[in-house]
Every structure is written in C-alpha cells, then in structure tokens.
Amino acid sequence: MPAIGLVYDGHAQHLPPASARATHIETPERVSVIYRALGKARLLDRLTRVAPREATRAEAEAVHTAEHLDALEALADAEPSLRGAWRGGAGGGWSLGRDMFHDAQTACAARRAAGGVVALTEAVLRGEISSGFALVRPPGHHACEDRMAGFCFLNSVAVAARAALSPRGGLRRVLVVDWDVHHGDGTQAIFEEDPAVLFFSLHRFGRGFFPGTGAASCVGGGAAAGRTVNVPFRREGMGDAEYLAAFDALLLPIARALPSSSSPPRAHPRLARDWAESRREPSIRSSSSSRPASTRRAATWRTSRGAGAGPLPDSSLPPSSPP
C-alpha cells in the first residue's frame, strides 16, 4: 500500500518585523514545533517526503485574479511592514492593521506553500502516496480570489483543488473539509458557485469571532447550491466528540450522497441548516457517570439526534447524468 506523504516547508525567511516578532503568532515556529513533534513520535521515518515547489503563475491564476498576483509579487520590493487586508478592484489596496506582515520573502513563501500542497495532491493522483500532510506556511484559507487577509496570501487548498480538477489532474469532484477554528471564508467565496467542489467547514461563529462568516444558511449559489456546508459552533468547548458527531451526522452522509452530475442534492441545504442550527447550545450535560467527558458528549449528542444520519434517500437526489 502506498505510504502517507509529507510536504514540509516552514520558510524561515518569511518573518514578522522585528518589533512584532516576539508576539505575532504566524512565525516559522508555528510549523517547526509540529515537525519536531512528528519526529519525537517517531512518525517521520514512516512518511514519504514530497519536495515542495513554487506554484506556477498559471496554477495561481486558476484561483486568484491577475491583480491579486501582481500585488503579491510587488511585496518583494516593498518595505517590510505590518498591514491590514489587501483588496483588489476600484478603491482597493492595503488597509491599516497589524494582522498581515510582509517582507522580501513573502511572495516566495506563499508560492511554495501553495505549490507544496499541489505537489502533494499530484503525488496522490499519481498513486505514489495514499494521502498526505502539507506542513507549510503561510496559511491560505482566508485568501479570496482578490483579497489577502488573515495571514493568508494565496489560497493553497483552492489552488490544489483546481489543479486536481484540471485536465492534467483528471478529477471531476473535490471535497474540501476545513476544521480550523476560524471559518474558511476565502475558500467558501472561491467555490460557492462551483458545483465541482463540495466545501464543508466546522468553525466558531458569532459574538464577533473572526472572520464573522460561515452561517449555516450560507449553502452556495447557482448550480452549486447545497455544495457549501457550514457547521457554526456558537460557543467554546467543542472537542473530538463534537467534531466526530458532525462528521458522522453531516459530512459522511452528504459526501456519500453527492451524485456525479453537476446538479447538487436538494437535501444538502436543509440538512446542513437544520443540524447546525440545532447546535446553538451543545448537548453537553452534567453527569455523574464515570465515563470520560468526550464519551459522554458523544453519547448525549447521539441521543439528541438519534443514532446518526444515514445516507440520504434516493428521492432527495436529482436525476444523475454525466458532468
């Protein structure tokens, strides 16, 4: 059986300005500590290394506008600084803020992060590895087609998904599952009208939590209605049990029911909205049981929802035809 692949690129030269280096959270250590943990757990020897590479302009332009990519390239000659988000279009440009930082290495780091995910995806498609883990920075899921924000410059997952859907990649459908605590607003915006991509996100939501998007009612549009599934957790404390319950009750049934045609299953918006809205307050109750808390949470959740959602009935799906 093919091994699991690993792409690692911490790009140590992409650094916050000296004034923010001790406090900014997007630093090389964010990924190097994970790499060291893999080594300590003796997992590195069991992984097949895949060499990172820079994403090409054509690969990036399958997701981002030419203006976006030009603005990213211009950072190589700009004075290193802290800024807010960048937006394209009339009246766009950089806003004031301290979230985003850039230096002469930022554009290269973003291209290598995106290219590393593409390289890993291509290795899976060639059958060289069964799956893979891309340990790269900067991150990407807040980057839109014409916006850089939330530490993100290029949307690496979106670039890899589009590469997989290209004639060279050969896929007809891609599932993107985003379980970061923040909603992947950039990834959603890129694919919300693309019926070839099912985007599934679990995240904190409400009370001003960044980025403020990802309501359960956002389900995609046009031919891709139902291909965006948001599970907005409205309070802290969600752990393994809650995430596994969401995978069991929502993700797996929806993914299995996804037809090969370009028409989305009509049940998706209803299923996503009803289930996620029922999680306004997690079903975590005090108990004198000696079972571990995570086990009690899973049991309580299943009791409140039944034994779990099985595959969607055939009647919920439109007639299937080749894409």
Which residue, among 97, 104, 118, has the nearest Cα to 166 in the 3D structure?
118
CB 266 within 8 A of CB 226: yes
Structure tokens at 202: 């679990």
For every residue of 234-247, DSSP letters joined together read -SS---HHHHHHHI
Is 142 catalytic? The answer is yes
Q: CA 16, CA 28: separation in Å to the nearest integer?
A: 10
**What is the layout of strands, in order, in the sheet containing 47-49?**
47-49, 3-9, 129-136
Counted residue by residue, the chain has a size of: 323
Q: CA 72, CA 142: separation in Å to the nearest integer?
A: 15
65-71 own/partner pairs: CB under 8 Å, 24+ apart: 65/145, 65/146, 67/146, 68/145, 68/146, 68/147, 68/148, 71/148
For every residue of 244-284, DSSP letters joined together read HHHIIIIIHHHHHH--SSSSPPTHHHHHHHHHHHTTSS---
Dihedral over Cα of 261, 264, 265, 271: its sign: positive
For the CA atoms of the chain, what is the radius of gyration? 20
Q: CA 200, CA 244: separation in Å to the nearest integer?
A: 14
Using CB atoms within 10 Å of the CB of residue 315, give its burial: 0 to 12 exposed, 13 to 18 middle, 19+ buried. Answer: exposed
* Residue of 14, 142, 183, 268 with catalytic role: 142
Query: Which residues form the catalytic set?
Result: 142
